[in-house]
Amino acid sequence: DQQVKQNSPSLSVQEGRISILNCDYTNSMFDYFLWYKKYPAEGPTFLISISSIKDKNEDGRFTVFLNKSAKHLSLHIVPSQPGDSAVYFCAATPTTSGTYKYIFGTGTRLKVLA
């Protein structure tokens, strides 16, 4: 059972435009969500997170939106840059469980075209 889903395996965007990556989850116990960026053969790099008490968090070019009723979050990157080309994973965790377990989505490969 895939509790966190990223239904788009890949996305191509022109440089300077907005990239929108989507993530859906099924477990209503999840209350903390994160986005990681990963280059090949490297570890995931933390980008941005959001707690379920918020519906938006912004950090520079990156904004994460959370729609709890739809169990959906999205990552907006604007403007997109060629260096943003990577695989993006969303992750979710139920912080109140105390288990420290993240559930990762399957990833979306973003390609920013120059």
Partner 1 sequence: DTEVTQTPKHLVMGMTNKKSLKCEQHMGHRAMYWYKQKAKKPPELMFVYSYEKLSINESVPSRFSPECPNSSLLNLHLHALQPEDSALYLCASSQPGAGGTDTQYFGPGTRLTVL
In whole angstroms, the minimum distance from the beta carbon of 18 to partner 1 comes to: 25
Nearer to partner 1, 60 or 98 (CB): 98
- Determine phi and psi for 113, rounding to 5 degrees: -90, 130
- Dig out the tokens for 79 from the structure: 């403007």
**What residues make contact with partner 1 under the rule CB under 8 A?**
32, 34, 36, 41-46, 49, 51, 89, 93, 95, 98-102, 104-107
Task: Tell me the C-alpha distance between 4 and 26, whole Å.
Answer: 7
Place of tokens 């979306």: 108
In whole angstroms, the minimum distance from the beta carbon of 23 to partner 1 comes to: 12
